[in-house]
């Protein structure tokens, strides 16, 4: 068992949330009971994940995508009301970490994706104003563009959108999970052969083609399954509590 206040303090310190200017509040978003015996982790605090957490008897939910995003309507009505009501009715706390979880050098989405795909990390990159969240490095051995696409499909269970010549080689690449297609020009400046992220925008295809690099959109959800899971496993070991990662399928 761990006190909620102790868990929040530990995670806020571990992920260094004060260093980030984010699109949402990081840390405790909905307060449930004072103590936690069982933690459920997942990518997004959807209704389906909440119901699964209730079913398992969780005291807290730890996610990458929580609530209260900049620009969203403030009233707690409709979907937001139903989600928060179920948390409060069952005394479940919601903890959410967005950019801090992307960036963490051990438990972060980007470093965990590198482990899944067998990528060697050389450094980090990103736009000014926040700690760098993207990573760059190399494959363990060069692959053709289509061979890397096949490897991504095999490791993530989802075929990526691939822009680039099928047989053109990939050795050096940069990656940033989720909706980071806007970092493609930062990646180009690193001199890589490919850039991998979760989502794609119309202009991203043109930028990849005109800069002569491969681009892979491997799915927002598919690329961000791994940070919350790794963090949850660490928390469970550190505090001696039960933990379960629940993956709610999402093809996007």
**Topology of 2-98+225-244 in CATH?**
3.40.1390
Q: 243: number of CA atoms within 13 Å, CB side?
A: 20
Q: What is the pTM of this model?
A: 0.96
Q: What percent of the chain has pLDDT over 90?
A: 99
Instruction: Answer whether residue 246 shows pLDDT above 90.
Output: yes
Q: How confident is the model at residue 213 (pLDDT cuts 50, 70, 90)?
A: very high
Instruction: Answer whether residue 105 shows pLDDT above 90.
Output: yes
Pairwise pLDDT comparison (127 vs 66), residue with the higher score: 66
Q: What are phi and psi for residue 193, nearest 5 degrees?
A: -90, -20
Instruction: Answer whether residue 237 shows pLDDT above 90.
Output: yes
Q: What's the pLDDT at 128?
A: 85
- 10 sits in which H/E element: helix 4-14
Work out the number of other CB atoms within 10 angstroms of the CB of residue 89: 10
Mean pLDDT confidence for 75-91:
97
Cα–Cα distance measured from residue 5 to residue 112, given in angstroms and rounded to the nearest whole number: 27
Cα–Cα distance measured from residue 225 to residue 240, given in angstroms and rounded to the nearest whole number: 23
Q: How confident is the model at residue 44 (pLDDT cuts 50, 70, 90)?
A: very high
Q: How confident is the model at residue 129 (pLDDT cuts 50, 70, 90)?
A: confident
Q: What's the pLDDT at 167?
A: 97
Polymer length of the chain: 252
Question: Looking at the domain that runs over 103-223, which CATH code has it been given?
Answer: 3.40.1390.30
160-203 pLDDT per residue, tens: 999 999 999 999 999 999 999 999 999 999 999 999 999 999 99
Q: Return the domain boundaries, the chain.
A: 2-98+225-244, 103-223
Q: What's the pLDDT at 183?
A: 97
Q: What's the pLDDT at 127?
A: 86
Q: What percent of the chain has pLDDT over 70?
A: 100
Mean pLDDT confidence for 139-144:
96
Fold agreement (2-98+225-244, 103-223):
yes
19-28 pLDDT per residue, tens: 999 999 999 9
- The vertex-89 CA angle with 88 and 95, nearest 5°, equals 30
Mean pLDDT confidence for 51-68:
98
The three-state secondary structure class of 136 is strand
Instruction: Answer whether residue 220 shows pLDDT above 90.
Output: yes
């Amino acid at each position: 068992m761990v006190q909620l206040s102790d868990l929040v303090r530990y995670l806020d310190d571990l992920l260094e949330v004060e260093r980030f200017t984010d699109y949402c509040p990081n840390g405790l978003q909905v307060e449930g009971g004072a103590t936690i015996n069982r933690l459920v982790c997942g990518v997004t605090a959807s209704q389906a994940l909440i119901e699964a957490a209730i079913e398992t008897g969780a005291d807290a939910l730890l996610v990458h995508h929580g609530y209260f995003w900049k620009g969203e309507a403030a009233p707690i009505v409709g979907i937001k009301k139903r989600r928060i009501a179920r948390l409060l009715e069952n005394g479940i706390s919601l903890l959410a970490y967005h950019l801090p979880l992307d960036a963490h050098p051990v438990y972060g989405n980007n470093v965990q994706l590198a482990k899944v795909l067998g990528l060697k990390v050389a450094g980090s990159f990103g736009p000014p104003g926040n700690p760098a969240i993207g990573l760059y490095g190399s494959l363990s051995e060069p692959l053709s563009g289509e061979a890397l696409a096949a490897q991504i499909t095999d490791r993530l269970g989802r075929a990526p959108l691939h822009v680039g010549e099928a047989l053109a080689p990939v050795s050096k690449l940069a990656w940033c999970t989720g909706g980071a297609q806007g970092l493609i020009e930062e990646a180009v400046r690193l001199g890589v052969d490919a850039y991998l992220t979760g989502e794609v925008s119309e202009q991203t295809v043109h930028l990849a083609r005109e800069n002569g690099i491969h681009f892979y959109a491997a799915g927002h959800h598919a690329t961000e399954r791994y940070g919350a899971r790794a963090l949850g496993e660490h928390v469970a070991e550190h505090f001696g509590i039960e933990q379960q990662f629940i993956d709610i399928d999402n093809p996007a």
